[in-house]
Amino acid sequence: MEKSKNKKNVRVNYGLAQKQVLANAGVKITFLRSKILAFAMDSKKPFSFEDVFLALRDTGIHRATIFRNLSLFKDAQILREVDMRQDAMFYEIATKGHHHHVVCKICGCVESFDMCGLDNLVEEFIKNSKEFDKISEHSFEMFGVCKKCYKKK
Amino acid sequence: MEKSKNKKNVRVNYGLAQKQVLANAGVKITFLRSKILAFAMDSKKPFSFEDVFLALRDTGIHRATIFRNLSLFKDAQILREVDMRQDAMFYEIATKGHHHHVVCKICGCVESFDMCGLDNLVEEFIKNSKEFDKISEHSFEMFGVCKKCYKKK
DNA sequence: TGCCCAATGCGACCGAGTCGCATTTGGGAT
DNA sequence: ATCCCAAATGCGACTCGGTCGCATTGGGCA
């Protein structure tokens, strides 16, 4: 796999910000990890395996490596999973604070938003629940048709 | 495929309630559809393809037939999809009124509940949204560890 | 009863994700 | 700077959920 014409430049190609994040999370820094992370940090909306694969195809990266690193980044809390009701799992940078998404069912565009009221609802549920007394995660996603796609019809 | 020892009994095996539902939705009544629907109506929690497959394996039903009919039932609004954060999609009878689920991450048990506050939150989001002015669906699922599983640890 | 189209069986195919094993490489120790 | 080993990657086979096209079967209506 070709990484750089000049062996001496490999290290500086890693990217400072990515290096920082990886070191911080106690994750070994490699060329491919910094590339994946750079892509993730640039992405303005949740992305899937395929997005990464296409973005990095010129590096010759193997499918398995992407899956392994997405999973690693999730465990290291660098990324967070986002369920977009697609076949594939989506991811986004975990530092973006808890929020939710609306997904356009036609073009797939995404709008993010805070939903301050949700935590209260979760609290309330817990009080009334017979079988659960702790909730570790919740997901709340909305689906519709965005204004652009609506006009096109 | 063996459906019944006695050809004359095929029709009465269909089941009255299921026949009703299918006819009502404008869906052609067949032996396998009534079986799938009967299973769905009996099920006390959301079920997957595999659940149906196991329940009906003695009929010799083909995988594709189950997938096709689950999809058909969804389009006909007889079933509704439930996202359980599993690999496979889950389904439940659509007449059960809008509600949500908590899923135990260990044993997979499910508790259902109403979440009256959610519609208000959706409304509020719409008002503030630049890109959407109508939401057709939303999902809200919670994940935790149920009391039984918690004790076992 | 017979006919026609829809439902089913069948099997190949697809894409997401995983795994074991051989090879390469990052980074700490010298 | 070099060496070395554990960890990362490549590779390819495999699993599993789901889809598709085509041949056969069976529902339901005339």
Assigned CATH class of B1-96: mainly alpha
User: What confidence score (pLDDT) does residue B63 get?
Assistant: 97
- Going by CATH, does the domain composed of A98-153 fall within 3.30.1490.190? yes
- What pLDDT score was predicted for residue B14? 66
Q: Which nt sits closest to B90, CA to C1'?
A: D17
- For residue A38, the surrounding DSSP H or E stretch is helix A31-42
At residue B46, the pLDDT reads 95
Average pLDDT for B76-97: 91
Find the CB nearest B132 among A120, A135, A146.
A146
CA distance linking residue B23 with residue B33, whole number of Å: 11
pLDDT of residue A150: 85
**What is the percent of chain B where pLDDT is above 90?**
44
Distance B3 CA to C1 C1' (A): 23
* φ, ψ of residue A43 in degrees (nearest 5): -65, 135
CA distance A36 to chain B (A): 24
What is residue A3's predicted lDDT score, i.e. its pLDDT?
A: 35
* CB-based contacts of B148, cutoff 8 Å, min separation 6: A131, B107, B109
Decide if A133 contacts A93 (C-beta within 8 A): no
Q: Do the beta carbons of residue B134 and residue A145 sit within 8 Å?
A: yes
Chain A residues within 8 A of B142 when measuring between CB atoms? 122, 125, 135, 137-138
pLDDT-based confidence at B2, cuts 50/70/90? very low
d(CA B111, CA B117): 18
Annotated binding site of A for Zn(2+): 104, 107, 146, 149
pLDDT at position A8 is 37
Q: Which nucleotides of C are covered by protein (CB under 7 A)?
A: 6-12, 15-20, 25-27
Q: Grade residue B11 by pLDDT with cuts at 50, 70 and 90.
A: very low
Q: Which long-range contacts (CB under 8 A, 24 or more apart) does B57-64 make?
A: B59/B1, B59/B2, B59/B3, B59/B31, B59/B32, B59/B35, B60/B1, B60/B2, B61/B1, B61/B32, B61/B35
Q: Is the pLDDT of residue B74 over 80?
A: yes
Q: CB-CB: which of A111, A121, A132 is closest to B132?
A: A111
In the prediction, which pLDDT does B84 show? 87
**pLDDT under 50 in chain A at which residues?**
1-12
Q: Is the Cβ pair A111, B130 closer than 8 Å?
A: yes
Domain boundaries defined on chain A: 1-97, 98-153
Nucleotide nearest to A70 (CA to C1'): C17
- The per-residue pLDDT for range B110-122, each reduced to its tens digit, is 888 887 678 888 8
Give the nearest nucleotide to B65, CA to C1'. C8
Is the domain covering A1-97 a CATH 3.30.499.10 domain? no
Tens-place pLDDT, residues A48-72: 999 999 999 999 999 999 999 999 9
**The pLDDT of residue A13:** 56
The pLDDT-based confidence of B68 (bands split at 50, 70, 90) is very high
Question: How close A19 comes to chain B (CA, Å)?
Answer: 32
Cα B110 from Cα B70, distance rounded (Å): 21
Q: Nearest by CB to B111, which of A122, A132, A143?
A: A132
The pLDDT, as a whole number, for residue B1 is 36
Residue in A12, A71, A69 with CA at minimum distance from that of residue A36: A69
Q: Which residues 88-117 of B are in CB contact (within 8 Å) with A? A: 102, 104-105, 109, 111, 113, 115, 117
A42 CA from D15 C1′ (Å):
33
Please compute the mean of the pLDDT values over residues B16-35 and round it to a whole number: 92
More confident residue, A38 or B125: A38
Question: Do A98-153 and A1-97 have the same topology in CATH?
Answer: no
A111 contacts on B by Cβ (under 8 Å): 129-132
CA atom of A75 to C1′ atom of C24, Å: 25
Minimal C-alpha gap between B107 and chain A (Å): 12
Query: pLDDT tens digit string along B29-61?
Result: 999 999 999 999 999 999 999 999 999 999 999
Output the pLDDT for position A134. 87
Least confident of A37-41, A127-131, B14-18, B66-70: B14-18
Which residues are registered as beta bridge partners of A90? A48, A82
Inspect the interface and report whether the beta carbons of A122 and B132 lie closer than 8 Å: no
Alpha helices in chain B (DSSP H): 16-24, 31-42, 49-55, 63-75, 118-128, 147-152
